[in-house]
Structure formats: C-alpha cells, structure tokens
Amino acid sequence: MNILQAIILGIVEGITEFLPISSTGHMILVGKLLNIPQTDFLSSFEIIVQLGAIFAVVVMYFPMLIKKISFWPKLLVAFIPTSIIGFILYKLVKHVLLGSAWITVVALFVGGIVFILLEKFFAKKEAQTISLDQMTLKQSFIIGVTQALSIIPGVSRSAASIFGGMAGGLNRETAVLFSFILAIPTMIAATGLDLSKSNVIFSSQEIFLLSIGLVTACMTALIAIKSFLAFVKTHTFIPFAYYRIIIAVIFAVFFLI
C-alpha cells in the first residue's frame, strides 16, 4: 500500500462509515480496484482506519455524552451483543470474510433488496420513541443484536443498527443518532481486539500509512455525518438501496466474473 492508496481508503471510510452502504465492504471493493495485495496489514488497516471516522463522532457529540450520563447504560446494553459475537467470530471475520469480494458483493445486493422491503414495512408503522431519553434497555438490546450482523462485510453496521432501532420503535432520526454514538465503543473494541489478536508489530511505514488513513477518514466523516443527518430528515433509505444493488451488479459483472 502506498500513500495515495491510504488517502483514498481513508476518504472512502469517512464517507461510508455512517451511510447505510457498508464502509468495510466499500474498502474491500476499492482495495480490489486499486490492486492492493490482500495482506494482514490491509485487513488491520480496514478495521483500524474506522477509528478516524469514530473520532469525528466523539468531537461532534462529546458535550452530549458528558451531560447525559444516564444514557451510558443503554449504550452498554447495545454494545454487549456485538462485542460477544465479534470476539467469538474474530478469526472468521479477519481471515475469511474480510478477504472476500464476493461475500461483500452479495451482501450489498441482498441488503439493497432488504432495505426496500423494510422501508415499505416502516412506512406503515408509527414510531413510538422520538428521543434518546425515551429509549428503553430493551430497545438498546435489539439494536445491539441487529448491529452484530455487520460482522459480514457489505451488511453495514450503520444500516443494521438504524433499522434495528426503527424495528424497536425509534423514529428515523433518533435511530440514526444512536447508531452514530454506538459506533464509538463498537469500533474502539474492534480495533483493540484486532491489535491484541493479531500480535503484529507495524513497521514505521505502516504506522505512517495508518496515520494518514485515520486523519483522512476523520476529516471526511465530519462532512459526511452532517450531510447524512440533513438527508434523513426528509428522505428514506431507498436511494441507498438502489445504490447498493447497482454497485454490487457492476462490480460483479466487470471485476469478478
């Protein structure tokens, strides 16, 4: 991997981390397009670089997190299912799923169809919870369980947690906000697990590339978060559903078949 490739992957991560289109899936596909060799470092890069985007959330919502300490138990309950499943299936994710462009393409395509079906379902369902303060521990747990599906590249952690929140009775904006904040402990834990399990000592060049990716992802994510929040106020996720289906078909036809 070179500097330009690290910058591109950082930009891709920053844009896609909080959109319901799978940041990991997109980094895998972009890595394929850039002909980056599938190495342990690339797999670690795809996990660790997400911290850059997560730092953007910390910067934006730090005052709220400090003031609303009563919100923390809900965050913990939502985090537990993903942490347990991620720990158990770490080797499968790191050495099998993250290296498969086909798994990513299929997940993107199927996810797009599921989006359309879910949007039709939620169009007939009235949300009951309109703020984080009104959330229950049960709703938090449901979100945590659905977020765990995102260990599959292409599923999208953001989409899984947002739809999980809506299934539990949250309105779209509250589900999106909770998904953003839940990303903080989730991705910190994912990075910590990868570093402890990999037992890899990065070279100075690899640390430099990681730093570039982290900074790029953070700067890009700040813009993406604000844009996405404005989008969900007046739109459904149907456009993202069509995007997922189209990008999956294009990539499969021109690069995998």
Longest dimension (CA), the chain: 54
Report yes or no: 183 and 135 within 8 Å, Cβ to Cβ: no
What predicted TM-score, i.e. pTM, was given to this entire model? 0.84
pLDDT at 91: 82
Q: Are 159 and 13 in contact (CB under 8 A)?
A: no
Any bridge partners for residue 129, and if so which?
170
- DSSP secondary-structure letter at 129? B
Q: Which pLDDT belongs to residue 117?
A: 94
Angle between helices 204-232 and 172-198 (to 10 degrees): 170
**Residue 58: how many CA atoms within 13 Å on its side-chain side?**
12
d(CA 171, CA 173): 6
Cα(219)–Cα(224) distance, integer angstroms: 9
pLDDT at 257: 65
Report which of 160, 150, 217 is spatially closest to residue 190, judged by C-alpha positions.
150
Model pLDDT, residue 90 = 82
What pLDDT score was predicted for residue 33? 87
Structural domain that includes position 162: 3-256
Q: What is the crossing angle of helices 238-251 and 101-122, to 10°?
A: 160
Angstrom distance (rounded) from CA 149 to CA 134: 25
Amino acid 239: pLDDT = 93
Alpha-carbon Rg of the chain, whole angstroms?
Answer: 17
Name every residue whose Cβ is closer than 8 Å to that of residue 141 and which is 6 or more positions away in sequence. 77, 78, 80, 81
How far apart are the C-alpha atoms of 104 and 158, rounded to whole Å? 15
Q: Give the single-character DSSP code of 99.
A: G
**Tens digit of each residue's pLDDT, the chain (257 residues):** 899 999 999 999 999 988 888 887 888 889 888 988 888 888 888 888 988 998 998 888 888 888 878 788 999 999 999 889 888 888 888 777 776 788 888 999 999 999 999 998 888 777 677 778 888 999 999 999 999 988 888 888 889 999 999 998 898 888 999 998 998 888 888 888 877 877 778 889 999 999 999 999 999 999 999 899 888 888 889 999 999 999 999 888 877 76
What was the pLDDT predicted at 130?
Answer: 75
DSSP classification of residue 153: T
Tokens of 215: 């900074």
Number of domains in the chain: 1
**Closest to 132 (Cα-Cα) out of 180, 84, 184:** 180
Residues 128 and 169 sit within 8 Å (Cβ to Cβ): yes
